[in-house]
Amino acid sequence: MTNLELPLHTKIDGYGVLDNELVIGGRKISDIARELGPGPFFVYDSALIRQRIEHLRAHLPKGMHLHYAIKANPMPAVVDFIAPLVDGLDIASEREMHVALATDMSPQLMSFAGPGKRVSELEAAVASGITVTIESETEMKRLEAVADATGSRPRVAIRVNPDFELKTSGMKMSGGPKQFGIDAERVPGVLDQIATSKLDLVGMHIFCGSQNLNAAALVEAQYKSWELASALMKRVPHELEWFNIGGGFGIPYFPGDAPLDIAPMGAALSDIQSQLTAQSSVTELVIELGRYIVGEAGIYCCEVIDRKLSRGRVFLVADGGLHHHLAASGNFGQIIRKNYPVLIGNRVFADQAEVQSVVGPLCTPLDLLADQMEMARGNIGDLVVVFQSGAYGPTSSPVNFLSHPHPRELLV
């Protein structure tokens, strides 16, 4: 394995280089491209996913449950690969539920969160024995109606919107008014209602935010989440199966980003787990991660179909772009556009480096995969590789934009 160093980005770990070509899953990028035929594709490396999970297990306290949030990458082959390596699957829609149920994992280890679950989704989840995370009083009543109609005892969890926020997070999902979960101060009342209902409360869920690279901020949020959960769980007349403390572990995308140091999180979670065990011998501590598990294990690859010089600037025009990978174009939740790590996959180390912009085939200046980055001189037929593309790639992109072909996905 080679540590790839881009001029401005953090080291890219885990990928190999052979004949100056990027190697993923033991295969040269040009071999994969040839086999798949024309058109852009995503490749996910199962070995890197496994390594990341092992890395997590090494730092997380023993016995802590690790869940995979399918939304990060719902490709069935990826979910099938991950399912036996983790302790649970978290889903966000009925279609994700089908992907999860197609694995060998027990539905008892799956939970369904999201602020706007349709009644048909609630019914399907209950019928499958999946735990539904209640995010509002309305949802609680709907689940009671499902219980009445089916004579079942739905497994539910409660999602708490805490009264603090996760600092320095890419996406803040807690603190202040939010559509997610039930405000902490109203949770006791809801717990009382659940206690007299036909619902089987098995878990509690607090999720503060995502894509955070600041270990201290994450640790602080973990402790605050635990304190809040601890107090709230004392209001529950029985012991819960689990407390899901969220996730939010970020990955380095942009120049200046450093990888998250998970050692402090592991230490904090170990401490929290001890406190939890002291409070309840039954309740498992759960962490839910998506992007952190798959994000760095995948790349996006497209082909240079034109090389243009316009008024002193070099443009590599690729057959892929924002319609396949919106986040890499800078148009998904970013305030200021920054470059993902990008290089020429079939010429990794450059004899001749050059500042180039990689654009896609779309009729919009937004279609920009690399803005004036230094990389090997790109020519027609070369393969542009965008790293950190294993999470929120094709499913987060407007794949029908300008009616171009969709990207393919491959797990190696």
- CB-nearer residue toward a copy of itself: 61 or 390: 390
Q: Which residues contact 267 (CB under 8 A, 6 or more apart)?
A: none
CB 132 within 8 A of CB 123: no
Compute the half-sphere exposure of residue 226: CA atoms within 13 Å on the CB side of its CA: 24
Q: What is the DSSP letter of 325?
A: -
331 near a copy of itself, judged by CB under 8 A: yes
Rounded Cα gap, residues 90 and 183, in angstroms: 21
Smallest distance from a copy of itself to CB 81, Å: 18
Pick the closest to residue 273 from 66, 132, 54, 27 (CA basis): 66
Site string for a copy of itself, 92-121 (x = CB under 8 A): xxxxx--x-------------xxxxxxxx-
What is the smallest separation between the CB atom of 361 and a copy of itself, expressed in angstroms?
Answer: 3
- Identify which of residues 40 and 154 has a Cβ nearer to a copy of itself in the complex: 40
Give the residues across from 303 on adjacent strands: 383
| Residue from 177, 278, 281, 351 in contact with a copy of itself (CB under 8 A) | 177
Residue 136 or 273: which CB sits closer to a copy of itself? 136
Strands 298-310, 284-289: parallel, antiparallel or unpaired by DSSP? unpaired
Q: Would you say 370 and 357 are in contact if contact means Cβ atoms under 8 Å apart?
A: yes
> Among candidates 393, 337, 399, 346, which has minimal Cα distance to 370?
337
Stretch that binds a copy of itself, among 56-64, 168-176, 191-199, 253-261 (CB under 8 A): 168-176
Q: Which amino acid is at 216?
A: A
Smaller CB distance to a copy of itself: residue 55 or 95? 95
For a copy of itself, the binding residues in 352-371 under the rule CB under 8 A are 357, 359-366
Residue nearer to a copy of itself on the CB measure, 67 or 404: 404
Residue choice 158, 173, 293, 297 for contact with a copy of itself (CB under 8 A): 173
Can you tell me which residue has the tokens 């319609």? 323
**Residue 324 sits in the site that holds a copy of itself (CB under 8 A):** no
Instruction: Give the residue, chosen from 35, 84, 311, 351, that forms a contact with a copy of itself under the rule CB under 8 A.
Output: 311
- Residue from the set 45, 123, 139, 284 that interacts with a copy of itself by CB under 8 A: 139
Residues 18-77 close enough to bind a copy of itself by CB under 8 A: 38, 71, 74
Q: How far is the CB of 135 from a copy of itself (least distance, A)?
A: 8
CA angle 49, 51, 53 (to 5 degrees): 70
